[in-house]
Amino acid sequence: MSDAAGISTGRGVVGQTVDEEWQVAVRPLEPAWLEGEVEGEVEISVEWSTLNFKDGLAARGPKAKVARLDPLVLGVDLAGTVATEGAGGPQVGTAVVANGWGLGTSHHGGLATSARVPAGWVVPLPDGLSTRDAMAIGTAGFTAALCVLALEAHGLQPGDGPVLVLGAAGGVGSIAIDLLAAQGHEVVASTGGGDHDLLRELGASEIVDRAETSAESPKPLERERWAGCVDAVGGASLAYALRTLRYGAAVAATGNVGGAELHTTVFPFILRNVALLGVDSVEVPAERRAEVWGRLATDLRPRHLELVTREIGLDEVPDALTAQGAGAGQGRTLVRVD
């Protein structure tokens, strides 16, 4: 990956140090921020982006150890059309999606009217997905799909028993419920909020309180309950999942909003044969990335995106990031960039 991916024209949500303080605001994009031309780059006219947990961390500046450029255009994903094609990249006018690869952290991201990235980072949108559809799914939906596919590759099948979703009200969790229920799985959602009706509409058959699934326990193993688990939380919740999985089951872990440390024992692994499947959405190879987006356009397409998606404009993003940092909001935030 090159450190020279950047922005050429327009405006975007920019974090930068001003008078020794990191500030986030909608600003004109500076061509001088480019670190040099890179062979194979494409310029994308961005139409839609989203807000994610990592965007909130980047909005806090270098102290959160996520923002690697100063200034930095935020936004870990984008969808739009190719404005200038690079060698081997999609042709001008092609609708594309890009997520991961350091967008919005170590490379200027998608919360801007224009983005320039290496051609290998972009995926032409499959038939049936508009640019808005792609970002309604976004990084959260892409990650949820990776989790569901990881569990199914491990052997999870409909009818095996309840599948627990930790962090059910968030972007990854809510779409994971939708995907799992559509595949015929019995879904149990864990949340600390009062969003039970919404989670049931998405497909959850049962709700358990976050206080239960994040509780510490002196017991290395508890009653076997779950045929599988999607964990977007980490910390104590992941430890809970490991000690309550059924024999041979797996948890697909992809978040750390509940903490980065994991306090567990070897007993779930050596006595119950459970598996901990790490799921990353940043460095997914291009071929696999295109395959997953293809599934999200067809048999894995979320059924209830509009239930969990709110739409805002680019100028509303700084306030939305502030609210997100204060713990407000749930589900998906779709950003209308153009």
- Structure tokens belonging to residue 145: 């799909």
- Structure tokens belonging to residue 131: 């640019």
Count of positions (residues) in the chain: 338
Q: What CATH number is given for 139-278 in this structure?
A: 3.40.50.720
Per-residue pLDDT of the chain (338 residues; tens, 9 = 90+): 334 455 556 899 999 999 889 999 999 988 765 544 455 688 899 999 999 989 999 999 988 889 999 999 999 999 999 998 777 778 999 999 999 999 999 999 999 999 989 999 999 999 999 999 999 999 999 999 999 999 999 999 999 999 999 999 999 999 999 999 999 999 999 999 878 999 999 999 999 999 999 999 999 999 999 999 999 999 999 999 999 999 999 999 999 989 999 999 999 999 999 999 999 999 999 999 999 999 999 999 999 999 989 999 999 999 999 887 655 456 689 999 97
One fold for 11-124+304-336 and 139-278? no
Measured from the Cβ of residue 295, the count of other Cβ atoms closer than 10 Å reads 16
Q: What is the pLDDT of residues 177-208, one digit of tens each?
A: 999 999 999 999 999 987 899 999 999 999 99
- Structure tokens belonging to residue 316: 């509303």
Report which of 272, 262, 260, 207 is spatially closest to residue 240, judged by C-alpha positions. 262
Q: What is the DSSP string of 77-90?
A: EEEEEEEEPPTTSP
List the domain boundaries for the chain.
Answer: 11-124+304-336, 139-278
CATH ID of 11-124+304-336, from 2.40.50.140, 3.40.50.300, 3.40.50.10610, 3.90.180.10: 3.90.180.10
CA distances from 4 to 39, 46, 96, 229, 331 (A): 10, 19, 20, 38, 32
Query: How does DSSP classify residue 121?
Result: G
Cβ-proximal residues to 299 (8 Å cutoff; 6+ apart), any chain: none
The H or E element that residue 26 is part of is strand 21-28
Q: What is the pLDDT of residue 40?
A: 60
Judge contact between 163 and 150, C-beta under 8 A. Answer: no
Judge contact between 13 and 318, C-beta under 8 A. Answer: yes
- Structure tokens belonging to residue 296: 């999200």
Q: What is the pLDDT of residue 194?
A: 79
Rounded Cα gap, residues 37 and 11, in angstroms: 20
Alpha-carbon 302 to chain mean position: 14
3-state secondary structure of 35: coil
Q: C-alpha angle with apex 320: 235 to 133, nearest 5 degrees? A: 85
Tokens 């049936």 sit at which residue? 128
Judge contact between 147 and 279, C-beta under 8 A. Answer: yes
Rounded Cα gap, residues 235 and 247, in angstroms: 22
Rounded Cα gap, residues 40 and 61, in angstroms: 29
Strands, E assignment, the chain: 11-18, 21-28, 41-51, 72-73, 77-84, 95-99, 114-118, 123-124, 162-166, 186-191, 204-209, 228-231, 250-253, 275-278, 309-313, 332-336
Q: What is the pLDDT of residue 85?
A: 77
Q: C-alpha angle with apex 200: 276 to 323, nearest 5 degrees? A: 75
Cβ-proximal residues to 134 (8 Å cutoff; 6+ apart), any chain: 48, 79, 97, 125, 293
